[in-house]
Amino acid sequence: MAQVLEFKLPDLGEGLTEAEVVRWLVEVGDVVAVDQPVVEVETAKAMVEVPCPYGGVVTARFGEEGTELPVGAPLLTVAVGSPEATESRGASGGPSGDGAGSEASGNVLVGYGTGAPAARRRRVRPAPVGQAPTTAAHLAPATAADPAPTTAARSAPVRASAPTSVPVLGAVAPQGPVAVISPLVRKLARQHGLDLRQVAGSGRDGLILRTDVESAIRAADEDAAAVPSTPARPEPDTSGERIPLRGVRGAVAEKLSRSRREIPDATCWVDADATELMAARAAMNAAGPKVSVLALLARICTAALARFPELNSTVDAEAREIVRLTGVHLGFAAQTERGLVVPVVRDAHTRNAESIGAEIARLTEAARDGKLTPAQLTGGTFTLNNYGVFGVDGSTPIINHPEAAMLGVGRIVPKPWVHEGELAVRQVVQLSLTFDHRVCDGGTAGGFLRYVADCVEQPAVLLRTL
């Protein structure tokens, strides 16, 4: 007897709450195996092939190509234990047991591929006198030193206690941090301009549920409808093409806006004579594998961060602490057809220029093919932005939140320069450093930038400090 099981869009990791259906890999009536990719979706981070945890016959698909679906929405249904699936497995030599138990992996997709769910992190919440302490999911914002909550923590069900009254806008909110686990609940509140601190949660430990937010929205709409209307003003002309702010463009917009809101940044810059650096690169390429200018600048950055570790850090605003990081995971800006992405070279502080260059080339190719995984686009501690490839001299970079600094590099062009007391034509580049003023003052930032410029002008400086 066939059993029809529904497969929903799983949690894709890294706080992603929706994905766009790019291409279906199966048709209704197809027989699928356990963990066979059935659909290709595009998130704000990367293109991902989603595997189905059930084996059987596809009976329905949900969502046309180009449709954006939230996490938890139905993707397809599979008839498990059907004769067609049994015959297919028998012909291929695969398992042929009946029932869902032998035709489901039970795995959970996280980021890219399937794997076992991670353990849920919990914290003890102080209780009133005379009561035992209760627990709630950890709600502090993630930093590089405090990774994002695991999939189990984000998607684990929460049993809500029966509400004693309907929460409305303006109700007294619980003391302490806003108790919200679901990203969808936060997004719903943000879309309606709702302050979650003014919403009383009906879930356990004051957890704010979706029904609480919807009730507060309805109450706000009723209050607005009761206010006497004022004479209408002429509306501005808003005709024109409207482009949805989603996918990579939407993720970039959100991250840059958050950086501007939360980070008090400052920028310093300097012109440097890159003639000797270009000569050193030519000599290296003549003697061995070719090394790019970006790889040399990346190696200079890792050496500079070893001398000025304040810039390889992040700020935990809730704890009022600067988290100084031990490893350097170097992000670099890469322009693709899908938009700007920032792949990350892991453990860049342990690599030489040749190794960094090879990893940059590998990640850049994957970015252009749209095959970067979410894990390859997150976890950076410092970013290098070579906007000189666009033919511009300078810029004021926006810090890649939650990092503390970004080095921008302009184009390298011949310019008049005083060299050894004589006017000469030299290869000149402008370097700009945008930094989080909370982690250091201008002296540290200036020292970092000056060291980078010295290495560009005299590559032997780097050799002396290794």
CA–CA gap between residue 217 and residue 193 (Å, rounded): 9
Q: Which residues neighbour 401 within 8 Å (Cβ) at sequence distance 6 or greater?
A: 255, 258, 259, 262, 263
Helices (H), 227-381: 247-262, 275-287, 293-307, 353-368
Distances (CA, A) of 179 to 120, 135, 137, 199, 438: 16, 11, 9, 10, 28
The H or E element spanning position 213 is helix 210-226
Token readout for 350 is 């342990």
The SS3 assignment for 305 reads helix
Q: Exactly one of 138, 192, 349, 437 is catalytic; which is it?
A: 437
Q: And the tokens for 270?
A: 């300097």
- The gap between the terminal CA atoms of the chain, to the nearest Å, is 70
Which residue bears the tokens 């322009």? 335
Active site residue 329: no
Half-sphere exposure of residue 174: CA atoms within 13 angstroms, side-chain side? 19
What one-character DSSP code corresponds to residue 54? B
Q: Per the structure block, which two tokens stand in for 458?
A: 């005299």
Residue 307 near residue 451 (C-beta atoms within 8 A): yes
Inter-axis angle of helices 293-307 and 353-368, nearest 10 = 120
402 upstream amide cis, omega within 30 of 0: yes
Asked if 82 and 58 count as a contact pair (C-beta separation under 8 A), the reply is: no
Which residues, including other chains, have CB under 8 Å from residue 226's CB and lie 6 or more apart?
none
Backbone angles phi, psi at 60, to 5 degrees: -160, 150
Active site residue ranges: 437
